[in-house]
Amino acid sequence: MSDNHSQTPDLDESNSVLTDAAAAARENQMRTEGAEPISLWIILCSAIVVLIGGGVLFGGNFFDYKNFVKSDYVRQDAPGDGESKMIPKTAILAYSKIGEKKSVSCKGCHGNNGEGSSAIPPLAGSEWVSGPSLRPAMIILNGMKGPVSVAGKNYNGNMPAQGDGLSAQDLAGLLNYIRTNLGNSDDKLITVEMAAEAIAISKERGGGQITAAELDEKYNRDLKGEPLDPNTLVNPKTLEPVAAE
Amino acid sequence: MSTQSQVPFIEDAQMRSDIDRSLRHPVMFFFTSGAAWLAVSLVLGIIASAKSHNPAFLGESGWLHYGLTFPAHINTLVYGWGAQAAFGVMIWLMARLCRQPSRNAGTILVAGHIWNLGVAIGTIGILSGHGTGKHWMQFPTFVWPVLLAAYAVIAIWSLVAFRCRNTDHTYISQWYLLGAILWFPWIYLTANLYVNVFDIHPLMAAAINGWFRHALIFLFFAPIAIASAYYIASKVSGRAIYNYSYSVGGFWALAIVAPWAGMQVMTGAPIPMFLQSVGAAATMLVGVPLIAAGINIIKTASGKQETVAYSPSLRFSIAGVVGMLLLAFAGVVLAHPASLKFTQFTMAGYGFDVLAVYGFFSMCMFGAIYFIVPRVTRREWLSRRLIRTHFWCSIYGVLFIFLFCTLLGGFQQGAAQEDHTQPWVQAVKNTLPYTVGMTVAWCFLLYANFFFFIHLALMWLRLGRRSSHPTLLRREHSALGPHGPEGDVDELEAAKA
């Protein structure tokens, strides 16, 4: 038997533990279960883990977002000038973005799509919006009262002035937004300079709601200045045109 | 030893060698192909790590960039090496403890080839840009059903063996093995269904992905490694488990706590708050069962310092158990909500994964492999120097990763990121020393495992020593030692005749 093994020790089916499976033969037999006292180390280490882990589990943070989420977190600007990292946008996008933000107060009465209501004239399709550009600017800045005919219907409402705290940029954005959105379209944009002129005229006038008759009489004209092509690239913050690269 | 006990002892040894023999092909296949995948994974890990501090490393070729090599590295590590080493140990240990030779080695071997094919296709899929981009699940989505089916065919026979066991006593390792065998399909199926199949909210999918990674570590890799360490510690030292009832308690504690862990990776995200809190607490509390098992195993082997030093299997297993205690420590430190602020979006999570998969699980698997392979091949390991190199380079590599990646690097990077007055790139620059340290660590591990693979492949080719002596990590054998004089089996037989 052992001679056979020496030649083909591993491939035959019989096997002798003593010669071939030395590793299995020399193994210790498994002992029965030990029952030494629990090590102090186990108790000590487990206690530390349970204390810290239990503190997380029962520390009252279960449904508390405040400890995990910073409230009112605003990331500071990175040092250095923000200009260099500015990505130019087309004028129509840059103005509309400002205008859309400011248009919330318009939409409160004139409707989300500028559709108006039985007592409030629409912005959509209104000749007062899409017509000569000084007229809508004056309405926004001074408010409006008295009878007015919009898109073939007569209204007699009362709109308060919206000009407080409205900068020339905001006004330009707002005008461009309502003149190119809400069912209106225009391929010329009002620049910040043009909006500044409207604010100056409004200041000169001295306040008080304006009427349709006064608008037709004194302010039935476009704002002075060169209108902007909607596809001009501008700086989205300052709205200054950027030279194409 | 008296004559009465001699006969059952020989019968017993005969049965052990029959069991080893019945499983030699699948076990050697799992170990050797696993070691090959480990080497592949380490090469990819070095490339990915080098790319993180030197993007021009190896030029600009598309399939080698970080976004492809890193997922390929981690997936080959988990499914190529980790799972296969676990399978090899699982089927062998279950057969041994149930005292049953396996009758299904061929089926398991075929399923093992299918698993390998799945991993290979998945890895090629990742490297060619078809990965899913979900951490630890990057294989293209058609791969996971294949792997799950292959797993079922491999693992079912261990359940059958347990059902038909030839012994009344259920050893602690069997508890852990049974747990791992049943938990893996649950974790793998659930996670893949929710992340890859069902159309759920992406935030929850990310949270489930975090749960999947922790569940795979704590409910599959950990129990297999603990089962193997309990067995080896008790078997090689020849002592009973220090406190058996406490080891069973540790198993049930793991079963209860571990499934909750993982969702703390989404801390601060708009998912239900309690998921994050429970995840953080469970990841910390998993330390309790890990400490219970770890100290129990170390206490079992303590007092046998010489055996721990000389036996490769015991030495690796004890090192793995120390890795397990470090993992418990890292879990407490990293998952605490106060430190998540710093570590959540840093390399610390990766360091935790590597510590779990390599420092703990793989070291235990190496210990088991050094024990099992001589038994199934009936050859002794060729070189104690190769084993020593493997051991020490693994230790250095894992310590580097634990220090540089898990602890220091993670917190340093996190603190730099928290300073939001500085540009983010500053945080990246701050971690440069640590990422370089990581690359060095992976080089250590590759060096260790390249030689391990060669050594294992030689054993697979049955080129090991034919000797009655184990390969122990000391200079020479004493002729008076317990194994008798050293020498070739044939020569000894001739001398006897």
Q: Is the Cβ pair A63, B273 closer than 8 Å? A: yes
Find the CB nearest A56 among B13, B280, B489: B280
Q: Is the Cβ pair A76, B421 closer than 8 Å? A: yes
Q: Is the Cβ pair B489, A19 closer than 8 Å? A: yes
Number of folded domains that form chain B: 1
Find the CB nearest A46 among B20, B291, B490: B291
Chain B nearest-CA distance from A31, in A, is 5
Chain B nearest-CA distance from A212, in A, is 52
C-alpha to C-alpha distance for B333 and B339, rounded to whole angstroms = 7
Given this model, what pLDDT does residue B416 score? Answer: 87
Size of interface A-B (CB pairs under 8 A): 156
Tokens of B269: 């995200």
State whether residue B333 sits within 8 Å of chain A by CB. Answer: no
Phi and psi at residue A170, to the nearest 5°: -60, -45
**pLDDT surpassing 80 at residue A67:** no
Chain A nearest-CA distance from B2, in A, is 15
Find the CB nearest A42 among B292, B420, B493: B292
Find the CB nearest B241 among A34, A37, A42: A34
State whether residue B471 sits within 8 Å of chain A by CB. Answer: no
Q: Is the Cβ pair B284, A28 closer than 8 Å? A: no
State whether residue B304 sits within 8 Å of chain A by CB. Answer: no
Tokens of B342: 């710093």
Residue of B241, B297, B298 to mutate for A, most A C-beta atoms under 10 A: B241
Which of these ranges, A6-10, A55-59, B201-205, B210-214, has the smallest mean pLDDT?
A6-10
Taking CA–CA distances from A68, the nearest residue in chain B reads: B268
Mean pLDDT in runs of 10 for chain B (497 residues)? 53 85 94 96 94 82 86 96 96 92 93 97 94 93 96 94 86 94 96 93 94 96 96 90 90 96 87 88 95 94 86 95 95 89 87 94 96 90 92 94 84 84 82 89 94 94 82 67 57 60
Residue of B175, B243, B325 to mutate for A, most A C-beta atoms under 10 A: B243
Assess if residue B489 is contained within a domain.
no
Assess if residue B113 is contained within a domain.
yes
Q: pLDDT: is A96 or B381 the higher one? A: B381
Assess if residue B209 is contained within a domain.
yes
Residues in chain B with CB shorter than 8 Å from the CB of A8 are none
Give the pLDDT band (50/70/90) at residue A5: very low
Given this model, what pLDDT does residue A226 score? Answer: 79
List pLDDT tens digits, range A174-207: 888 888 877 777 777 888 888 888 888 888 887 7
Assess if residue B496 is contained within a domain.
no
Chain B nearest-CA distance from A74, in A, is 10
The count of residues in chain B is 497
CA nearest neighbour of B267 among A76, A67, A60: A67
Residue of A38, A58, A66, A73 to mutate for B, most B C-beta atoms under 10 A: A38
Given this model, what pLDDT does residue A1 score? Answer: 36
Find the CB nearest A62 among B244, B277, B328: B277
H helix or E strand, kind and range, residue B441: helix B432-460
List pLDDT tens digits, range A103-115: 888 888 888 788 8
Residue of A18, A27, A67 to mutate for B, most B C-beta atoms under 10 A: A27
**pLDDT surpassing 80 at residue A23:** no
CATH of A88-233, one of 3.30.1330.120, 1.10.10.60, 1.10.760.10, 3.40.50.1980: 1.10.760.10
State whether residue B246 sits within 8 Å of chain A by CB. Answer: yes
**pLDDT surpassing 70 at residue A220:** yes
**8 A C-beta contact, residue B218 and residue B211:** no
Residues in chain B with CB shorter than 8 Å from the CB of A10 are 378, 462
Given this model, what pLDDT does residue B432 score? Answer: 87
Assess if residue B487 is contained within a domain.
no
Taking CA–CA distances from B172, the nearest residue in chain A reads: A33
Number of H helices, E strands in chain A: 10, 4
Residues in chain B with CB shorter than 8 Å from the CB of A24 are 13, 16-17, 20, 375
Within 8 A by CB and 6+ apart from B87, the residues are B30, B112, B115, B154, B155
Phi and psi at residue A210, to the nearest 5°: -95, 155
Q: Residue B353 belongs to what domain range? A: 10-471
**pLDDT surpassing 60 at residue A173:** yes
Residues in chain B with CB shorter than 8 Å from the CB of A79 are 421
Assess if residue B477 is contained within a domain.
no
What is the predicted ipTM? 0.78
Burial class of residue A3 (count of CB atoms within 10 Å of its CB; 0-12, 13-18, 19+): exposed
List pLDDT tens digits, range A68-93: 556 666 655 555 555 555 677 788 88
Q: What is the DSSP string of B156-206?
A: HHHHHHHHT-S-S---HHHHHHHHHHHHHHHHHHHHHIIIIIS---HHHHH
Assess if residue B390 is contained within a domain.
yes
Assess if residue B414 is contained within a domain.
yes
C-alpha to C-alpha distance for A43 and A81, rounded to whole angstroms = 59
What CATH number is given to the structural domain containing B44?
1.20.210.10
Give the pLDDT band (50/70/90) at residue A21: low
Find the CB nearest B288 among A32, A49, A75: A49
Taking CA–CA distances from A63, the nearest residue in chain B reads: B273
Q: Is the Cβ pair B328, A49 closer than 8 Å? A: yes
State whether residue B12 sits within 8 Å of chain A by CB. Answer: yes
CB contacts under 8 A, B 105-164 vs A, are none
Q: Is the Cβ pair A9, B466 closer than 8 Å? A: yes
C-alpha to C-alpha distance for B206 and B262, rounded to whole angstroms = 11
- Taking the CA atoms of A120, A126, A128 and A130 in sequence, report the sign of the dihedral they define: positive
Give the pLDDT band (50/70/90) at residue A11: very low
